Structure 1
Amino acid sequence: MNTVRKLLKIDCIEEKGIIGQDIVVAILDTGMAEHPDLKEKIILFKDFVGNREKCYDDNGHGTHVAGIIAGESKDRFYGRMNINGIAKGSQLVVLKVLNAKGIGIEDKVIDGIKWIIDNYEKYNIKIVNISFGTIHNNCSEMRLIKYVEILWQLGLVVVAAAGNNGPDIGSITVPGVSKKIITVGVVEDGKKVNVNGRYTSNYSGRGPTCECIQKPDLIAYGNNIVSCNNNYKLKKYTVKSGTSMATPVVTGCVALLLSKYPELKNIDVKRKMIESCKDVNLPANIQGAGVINPVELLGVK
């Protein structure tokens, strides 16, 4: 995370007092461990898989994602450096909808989304992070897309992964194919990295979608990201790669933006993010508008 924060000049943004304060992010994932960098960030945990009450993560994916968004080391050191997330002032609502293998049943995921629909006002949820997806041929009829778009219609900012099924055209995963939400690919996916146990390159999902919608909307850093480990008593941090890691980088940037401009509507958030991206001269179906650029996004000099 330190490398990503440096590339995105997050320290410069934090010097202006912008840390994602007062912004609540809902994470649909494998849960979250009570990691020391995260336990003060969580305001609610709900388990749709095992119906357990205590916060946990039997996979690690969700904890890693949460650390990218909101992790804050607070005098705890990894080597010589603190490991902080993009929006360390934000808070989290964690919904476990994926099992120990990182696999989810569509009904459980939709149950999690329905819970957000019913409770987003109560918990002041502004952003929903979805760092997973599935391939489906008839994407326009997917129930998951329907419910994700309800979240958007309610005014929430939904950020979803483009998926790791590239490099073929049309390899964006559901719900990232939705034209309404913000879909995130990976910068420099030509480099070989370990993605979910598979050593691969050129993996970031490519558009267009089956409805000829150009995706992804933008790309972010997602290779070899150091973030919170669910088995933190053994090893506090771990490395993961994929669009799952790029997505919370963008989510964190959305939290920074909304903490500075809380009145923004989700359509304005998406427009501002796209307009502020840095073009890296890749095809639009790979990079979208380009690389997330929070300094430009927030007008920080």
Structure 2
Amino acid sequence: MDQAKQAINAVKVYKNGLSGKNVNIAILDTGVYGHELLNDKIVCFNDYVGGKTKIYDDNGHGTHVAGIICADRIGMAENARIAVFKVLDQFGMGKTGDSLRALEWIKRNHKKYDIKILNFSVGYLPDSKLTEKQKILDVIDELWNLGIVVVAAAGNYGPGPFSVTVPGISRKIITVGSYDDFRSGRGPTGCCIVKPEVLAPGSEILSLSNRNNGFVRKSGTSMATPIVAGAIALLLERYPKMKPEEVKLRLYNTCKRIPSQKDRNWGIVDVDKLLGII
């Protein structure tokens, strides 16, 4: 994670004492393992796959994502807290209905748990039913309208055009691609919107394992997405009244542009510049 932070210019932000304090982030994924570097960071856990009440992660993907966001010492925002929703099974597969149930729960309870950000490192397969995908998009947009900054992965079905997955194709939310993974989904979308808007490192990212308090490297837009979600947690710590559309505009104005990709994305997130620390 140190290399990833350097790549996105997350340097002065930590010297200024920012750590994501008082920012709660919802994670839809494979669950979370009780890693020692996540102690006291999990505000709630809902299991829509197995119906269990005790935290667990039988795949490891969700734990890796959680670690990128807020693990002690290595996370982007180590004092942020997380609300975890298990919607994917041990194989990383899931039912759209389970994700919808989790999203509806967030819609009903986001104020109670003070959820400011939703990290959605789940991409629905291109051959998923259109009606199911539209339901996900509708609820995602509702959450955005309620003041939750939704950050979603572009998916790993690239590099061809029109390869961004749902919900990353939403007009409203922030979609994240990986600048160092050739599989990263690329736009435009069917409505010719530039997607993903933001890029971050996503290749061989070191984070938490779901075994023995260990560590593991994983790659993909699923890893790039929590890097951006963590950066936004730092931003909302500094500017707690900032609205989702203001966060998105700030990203647009501060990303490091890539001249050869100026029509494909906004560029690479620049954390110090995002927070106005220069």
- Greater alpha carbon shift after TM alignment, 207-216 vs 21-30: 207-216
In structure 1, the residue matched to 2:114 is: 124
Task: Say if 2:159 and 2:184, in contact at 8 Å, map to a contact too.
Answer: yes
In structure 2, the residue matched to 1:280 is: 258
How do residues 176-215 of structure 1 correspond to structure 2 at under 5 angstroms?
176-189=168-181, 202-215=182-195
CA distance in 1, matches of 2:179, 2:10: 17
CA distance in 1, matches of 2:233, 2:104: 22
CA distance in 1, matches of 2:154, 2:173: 11
CA distance in 2, matches of 1:268, 1:185: 20
Q: Can you give the 5+ residue segments of structure 2 that lack an aligned partner in the other structure?
A: none
Is 1:291 aligned to residue 268 of structure 2? yes
Residue by residue over 1:161-213, the C-alpha shift from the partner in whole angstroms, topping out at 9 and shown as x without a partner, is 00000011100000000010000000122xxxxxxxxxxxx211010111222
CA distance in 1, matches of 2:152, 2:262: 18
CA distance in 2, matches of 1:70, 1:22: 12
Tell me the SS of whatever aligns to 2:58.
coil
Amino acid at match of 1:54: K
Deviation at 1:11, TM superposition (A): 4.2
RMSD, matched Cα: 1.5
CA distance in 2, matches of 1:282, 1:174: 26
Task: Say if 1:29 and 1:97, in contact at 8 Å, map to a contact too.
Answer: yes
Tell me the SS of whatever aligns to 2:267.
coil
CA distance in 2, matches of 1:290, 1:245: 17
In structure 1, the residue matched to 2:22 is: 22
Task: Say if 1:26 and 1:95, in contact at 8 Å, map to a contact too.
Answer: yes
Is 1:151 aligned to residue 172 of structure 2? no
Tell me the SS of whatever aligns to 2:16.
coil
Is 1:271 aligned to residue 271 of structure 2? no
Is 1:300 aligned to residue 277 of structure 2? yes
Q: Can you give the 5+ residue segments of structure 1 that lack an aligned partner in the other structure?
A: 74-83, 190-201
CA distance in 1, matches of 2:6, 2:107: 35
Total equivalences in the alignment: 276
Task: Say if 1:276 and 1:292, in contact at 8 Å, map to a contact too.
Answer: yes
Tell me the SS of whatever aligns to 1:185.
strand
TM-score by length of 2: 0.95
How do residues 1-301 of structure 1 correspond to structure 2 at under 5 angstroms?
1-73=1-73, 84-136=74-126, 142-189=134-181, 202-233=182-213, 236-284=214-262, 286=264, 288-301=265-278
TM-score by length of 1: 0.88
CA distance in 1, matches of 2:209, 2:157: 25
CA distance in 1, matches of 2:257, 2:23: 28
Deviation at 1:284, TM superposition (A): 4.2
CA distance in 1, matches of 2:183, 2:176: 13
Amino acid at match of 2:101: D
Residue by residue over 1:100-156, the C-alpha shift from the partner in whole angstroms, topping out at 9 and shown as x without a partner, is 111110000000000000100000000000001114478686111111111111110
Deviation at 1:67, TM superposition (A): 0.3
Amino acid at match of 1:209: T
Residue by residue over 1:240-273, the C-alpha shift from the partner in whole angstroms, topping out at 9 and shown as x without a partner, is 0000000000000000000000010110001101
CA distance in 2, matches of 1:283, 1:6: 21
Question: Structure 1 pair 86/187, CA: closer, same or farther in 2 (3 Å)?
Answer: same
Deviation at 1:280, TM superposition (A): 1.9
